Amino acid sequence: MSLPRLGVVIVTMGTRPQELEALLASVEKQDVPATRVVLIGNATPLADVTADVAKIPLEENLGCPGGRNVGLKTLRESGEVDVVIELDDDGLLIADDVFRKVQQLFAADPKLGIVGFRIADEHGHTERRWVPRLRAGNPMHRGLVTAFLGGGHAFSVPMLNRIGDWAGEFFFGHEETDLAWRALDDDWKILYEPELVLQHPKTSPARHAVYYRFTARNRVWLARRRLPLPLALVYLGVWIILTLARIRSFTGLKAWCGGFVEGMRTPCGPRKPMKWRTVWRMTRLGRPPLI
């Protein structure tokens, strides 16, 4: 069994220099080294980063998915890697065998497309929203799922060659779902592996000023791009109800409504709805593409 070569992509905006240095140190200490580590600076210089990694400062902030695409392209063009690990710049690998376990998982199953890490805070606690399944009470339950978290995960390069990279136009929010649905529709597996831990501070995504607008816009784009029409209508209806029940801020609700209208009116990229057999497969995995 040949072991895949690993590459790492990290995107930073330069706002968490201490956390980034700690993450890079945790990458360096892995008992299986990455073939190449690429650090993308989203509209930020990288001259102060001391780690020996490939540094690509971008003049424009492309968002997390756009920045990661630059890293993926760099690794793919080099032809040096078979699996790409992507990590948030404020995360931390607390164990030194994460890369070795990732390598073994992909070597054992050629149809494994995505491995999602377990996200835990500094106390080892994993929030329900960090578990990529509806039945999220036990974060240690390993298995095949229909989604993954963007903070820590690994991709098969052969899978990316078939389905394409991140939806860079999403900029922030739901790009993980778009990529996961494309992977499932191309018959790849998504594995949630709780033994692979990325320590990450407990923060709310709503802290970002664009959260409500982009969440609404991108959810509409996602439905328009990936769902058969009957499911798209139900999916959006469910999320309208959930949003009205959850949002407590009038400012947030106003931004969400504006984003929803923007999602309906603006181009969303090429439409390629998933096959009905993919819908059934997701349903059997416990999460139909409705919620």
Q: What is the CA radius of gyration of the chain?
A: 18
290 assigned to some structural domain: no
Q: Report the CATH number that the domain containing residue 36 is assigned in CATH.
A: 3.90.550.10
Last residue of a domain, one of 141, 174, 203: 203
Q: Are residues 85 and 170 in the same domain?
A: yes
Q: Are residues 140 and 58 in the same domain?
A: yes
Check pLDDT > 60 for residue 253. yes
1 assigned to some structural domain: no
Q: Nearest-CA neighbor of 67 among 172, 217, 174, 218?
A: 172
pLDDT band at 209 (very low <50, low <70, confident <90, very high): low
135 assigned to some structural domain: yes
Q: Are residues 216 and 194 in the same domain?
A: no
Last residue of a domain, one of 155, 171, 203: 203
Check pLDDT > 90 for residue 25. yes
Q: What is the mean pLDDT of residues 148-165?
A: 97
Q: What pLDDT, on a 0 to 100 scale, did the predictor assign at position 102?
A: 98
Check pLDDT > 90 for residue 196. yes
Check pLDDT > 90 for residue 207. no
266 assigned to some structural domain: yes
Q: Are residues 142 and 54 in the same domain?
A: yes
Q: What is the mean pLDDT of residues 165-170?
A: 96
126 assigned to some structural domain: yes
Centroid of chain to Cα 115? 10
Q: Write down the mean pLDDT value for the chain.
A: 94
Q: Are residues 19 and 152 in the same domain?
A: yes
Q: Are residues 178 and 233 in the same domain?
A: no
3-state secondary structure 96-150: CCHHHHHHHHHHHCCCEEEEEEEEECCCCCCCHHHCCCCCCCCCCCCEECCCCCC
288 assigned to some structural domain: no
Check pLDDT > 90 for residue 74. yes
Last residue of a domain, one of 169, 203, 237: 203
How many domains are contained in the chain?
2
Q: What is the mean pLDDT of residues 42-47?
A: 94
291 assigned to some structural domain: no
Tokens for 226, please give them. 């990936």
- Side-chain half-sphere CA neighbours of 258 within 13 A: 11
Q: Are residues 52 and 190 in the same domain?
A: yes
Check pLDDT > 60 for residue 133. yes
Q: Are residues 110 and 185 in the same domain?
A: yes
Q: Are residues 267 and 228 in the same domain?
A: yes
Q: Are residues 113 and 171 in the same domain?
A: yes
Biggest CA–CA distance in the chain, Å, is: 57
122 assigned to some structural domain: yes
Which are the contacts of 245, defined by CB distance < 8 A and separation ≥ 6? none
Q: Are residues 194 and 220 in the same domain?
A: no
Check pLDDT > 90 for residue 42. yes
* Distance (Å, whole) CA 45 – CA 53: 14
For β-strands 112-120 and 152-156, DSSP reports them as antiparallel
Domain extent, residue 46, equals: 6-203
Q: Are residues 150 and 264 in the same domain?
A: no
